[in-house]
Every structure is written in structure tokens, then in C-alpha cells.
Chains A and B, each alone.
Chain A
Amino acid sequence: MNKKRHPEIVLNSQDLKQELRRRTRRDFLIAGLAAAGAVGGYEWLTHAKEDNGQPWPERRVLDANGRLWRAYVNNRHLMPSYSTDQIQYLKVNGDVGLGQDFDPGAWKLRVQTGVPGEQFDLHLFDIQSLPRYQMITRFCCIEGWSVITQWAGARFSDFTKKYFPAARPLPQYVYMATPDEEYYVGLDLKSALHPQTLLAYEQNGKPLEAAHGAPLRLVIPVKYGIKNIKRIGMIQYTDTRPGDYWYEEGYDWFAGL
């Protein structure tokens, strides 16, 4: 053993006892102070003022993590795709914003481009006239389960190319809400323009079911399920970070995978 790093203290037995007692007292005092500091720090953290359901220091770190990963999001970083025989059953796990008072026949998609007053309505055939993409990807719920599902629809990037004014620079964010605005999500535009982000109208080769968000839902495999909003009634481009249903309940705003 290295003697330099592992020195020895050799004294007569009386002084040795004293030296041991002195060191024990000193270091246990330091240890006690450190432990008290740790407990105090934890108490301070967990009781800090809340910011959207979490103590503000944790919220800040969540947001910082989000910015970090957002910078890393890349159109080449894809969720793996699977084959048809790997498709699994996707349960219905949320019905906020899917009230009974809804007429699919009268549905329209309201689009707001970020300039006050500049808005228009689209029909499902407008979305269906965009190039159709089909993919079999993993749908990851923030609860921890995940399911392989097939989706088909229009890429949000194609949608944006067609419907966002080409002359203007792209904004930072996009906000989507159900027709009753009970459920709403905020997305960074970078993730929304990812090639796997679809405005989906088909699931497993069939038209989307009502409980899964008919007539049009968002499928964004680079985000947790909570961002995959069903029954989209409104899409709004914006430069300020939009609100988000689950963010306000204490979850991460970015919620990216």
C-alpha cells in the first residue's frame, strides 16, 4: 500500500487515544454538519415556491434539460420502426377534451399563423391531400408503458410548408388544442417538424377511431404520449412558449424522447 497516501500515526498509547478522540470528535462534527446541511437543502428544495406544480429549482432544471435536448433534436434521430406483425393493442388512456358534444361532420381545423387576425379553417380533405405517410413506431406513455402502433397521415412539416406563410421566418413553437380547448399541448417547432411527426387520420390501416382522436390527431413519436393530442381543433404558430395541459400539472414542458 502506498505509504504516502496512507500514512500512519504512531504515538505512545496515551497520546494515541487522545489523537483518536480528537479526530473522531472533529470529523463526526463535520459529518453531522454535512448531514444537517443535506437535510436542510432537501427541505428547502422540496418546499421551494412552486412553478407549475414543481418546486422552482426542479422546474428550472427540467426546463434546462429540455433546452439541452431540444438543441440535440435532429431529423436523422428517429424512433425505430417495426413490421406489421409487431403491432400491439393501444389502450385508450385519456379523454380530456374528447367530450360527447362533438359533431365530426362539422369539424374544421382552425389555423392561426401567429399574426393577430390571420387565421383560416381547413377540412380533413385538405390534410388528406398532402402526401400520405405511414409508419409503425413505438408510442411511449409517460407512465412507462409503450406500444407499437401503425399510423398514417400528413407530415406536419409538409403541412407547415403548405400553410405557414413562406415569406415569414418560422416561429419557435406551435400550440395545438382540442375544439373545446380542454386539452392543449405546446411543442417546440423543431420537434414538430421532425419527419416522424404526423397529423394522423388513420391507425392500423383504418380510419382513426373517435376515442383515439378522430378525425385528426397528432402523432409525435419523439415526444411522450401526453403531447400526442387527439381531436385537434386548432393549430397556432407562436414565438412564445405555449401553455400545456400536463405541464401545468407538474410535468416537463419539453417531454421529448
Chain B
Amino acid sequence: MPKLKLKHLLAIRWFHWINFPLLALMIWSGFLIYWAYPVYSIGPVRFPQGLFRALHMNQRLADGMAMHFFFMWLFVINGVLYIVYTIVSGEWRLLVPTSFGALRDAWQVVLHDLHIRRERPPQQKYNAAQQISYTAILVMGIGSVLTGLAIYKPAQLNWLAAWFGGYPGARLIHFALTIGYCVFFVVHVIQVIVAGWNNFRSMIIGYELVDEHE
């Protein structure tokens, strides 16, 4: 018999949808800052100057810094509230992988998603690949805040900068994490499109239409 099942709690939905534009603005303003000294590359791949110009991102270092140090507060507050909420509510149990078996299961999920493997491994609310992704993105977020603080105040927080190999090291990690979010975003959106309307709708209304024979 079909029924509506609450999949995503109201608070989690708000945290997610508030985080999305905030992270987008942090990345945007971050690239305005990066424009002033865009040196990182992976082999020949470098953030192209043409893209900076096309998106009118050139000559806006001061704007980028003002925006970055404005929205950082909202980004951090939302992130901290999310972590506190998942802990207090017990939701973390569903989100955090609890054994190394998750790695094997996550691989099976990837194979399944790529249509290489027919069956999905058994799962709770989130499959092992989701658990690993959603936990990793949180660890990345914490990493961005810490490396960000290290670049922001390398004298006042010199001990923190030292964790990341000093000021240049912290800057590199901070940048790499940002690229990580961009990759996460692409994969995430593809997965959401593949999963379909019922799944996407549940991230807005909370409920998912299920027709299971239990």
C-alpha cells in the first residue's frame, strides 16, 4: 500500500537549503580573492583567466574579501547548528558510517550506480556511499573553516597555520577543498537528477511516496 514517509527532517532541510547559497557565495567570493594570485594547477589545468573575465571576476579582490568575511559568519553558524542538531537529535547515527564495511558497501553502490552491478547492498536511510560523502563533506567544511582561519590570521593563530604546513600550505588546502565542493556539487546534482522527482521533492516537503511491501 502506498504511503508518505518522512525522509528528511524539517531542520535538516533548512540547514541544507540555507547552506547551499551560503557555500555558493563563499566559493564565489573565494574566487574573487583567488583571482589576485591564481597560481595553482594540476598538470596543465589552471583556472583560466578567460573565465575570470567572462564572469566579471577580475579586479574585485576587495569586494571578494568583504563578502567572504561577511558571509563566513552565516556559513559557520549554519554549519555549527547543523552539527549540533545531528548530534542532539541522534540523526548522526544514520549519517556517519559506523564500520569499515561502509567502504566496501560504498564501492558496491558506485558499481550499482554505474550499472555494473545489479543489486544494491542493504542500507538504512542513507547508503554507504552517501554516508561517506555526507560525512566527508562535513569534515571538508570543518577543514575549510580551520584552513580559512589559518590564512585569515596566520600571526594570531600561528599554531593553527602550523598544523597545515604554515601559511602557504593552509592556502593550498583551502583552495583544494573548494575544488572538492565543486566536484561534490556536480556529482550530487547528477545523483539527484538520476534519483528522480520523488526523491528531490522529499528534500523540499520532507515526505517521500513509498510503495513497499513489508
Interface residues, chain A, with chain B CB atoms under 8 Å away: 1-2, 5-11, 13, 16, 19-20, 23-24, 26-28, 31, 34, 38, 42, 45, 53-55, 57-59, 61-62, 65, 69, 72-74, 77-80, 138, 140-146, 221-222, 246, 249-252, 256-257
Contacts and interface: CB of A to CB of B under 8 A. Distances in A.
Contact of B66 (A24, A54, A138, A222): A54
Nearest to B210: A8
Given A38-B21, A144-B34, A6 B154 contact: no
B5 A8 contact: yes
Given A1-B94, A34-B17, A61 B205 contact: no
Given A69-B156, A256-B153, A13 B5 contact: no
B65 interface: yes
Contacts of B205: 23-24, 26-28
A58 B70 contact: yes
Query: B65, B66, B69, B161 — which one has the most chain A CB atoms within 10 A of its CB?
Result: B66
B178 to A, nearest CB: 13
Given A5-B9, A257-B154, 18 more contacts: A6-B5, A9-B3, A10-B1, A10-B3, A16-B209, A24-B201, A24-B204, A38-B21, A54-B62, A55-B66, A58-B70, A59-B66, A69-B153, A69-B156, A79-B158, A142-B36, A142-B61, A144-B36
Nearest to B34: A144
Nearest to A257: B155
A69 B152 CA distance: 10
Interface of B: 1-7, 9, 17, 21, 25, 33-34, 36-37, 39, 61-63, 65-67, 69-70, 73, 89-91, 94, 124-125, 152-158, 161-162, 166-168, 171, 201, 204-207, 209
A10 B5 CA distance: 9
B125 A1 contact: yes
Given A20-B209, A58-B66, A58-B70, A140 B154 contact: yes
B59 to A, nearest CB: 11
14 contacts: A5-B91, A6-B125, A7-B6, A8-B5, A9-B4, A9-B5, A10-B1, A23-B4, A42-B21, A138-B154, A138-B167, A140-B167, A143-B37, A256-B155
Contacts of B206: 23, 27
Given A79-B158, A143-B61, A251-B62, A8 B6 contact: yes
Nearest to A25: B205
Contacts of B154: 79, 138, 140, 257
A213 B24 CA distance: 41
Nearest to A38: B21
A20 B156 contact: no
A69 B26 CA distance: 21
B66 A77 contact: no
Contacts of B17: 31, 34
B156 A13 contact: no
Contacts of A53: 62
B6 A257 contact: no
Nearest to A39: B21
Contact of A249 (B2, B62, B69, B152): B62
Nearest to A3: B6
B204 A28 contact: yes
A249 B153 CA distance: 22
Contacts of A13: 2
Contacts of A11: 3
Contacts of A80: 158, 161-162, 166
Contact of B69 (A20, A62, A140, A143): A62
Nearest to B9: A5
Given A77-B158, A80-B162, A138-B154, A61 B73 contact: yes
A137 to B, nearest CB: 9
A251 B168 CA distance: 22
A20 B4 contact: yes
Contact of B37 (A2, A9, A145): A145
Contact of B156 (A9, A28, A140, A257): A257
B125 A8 contact: no
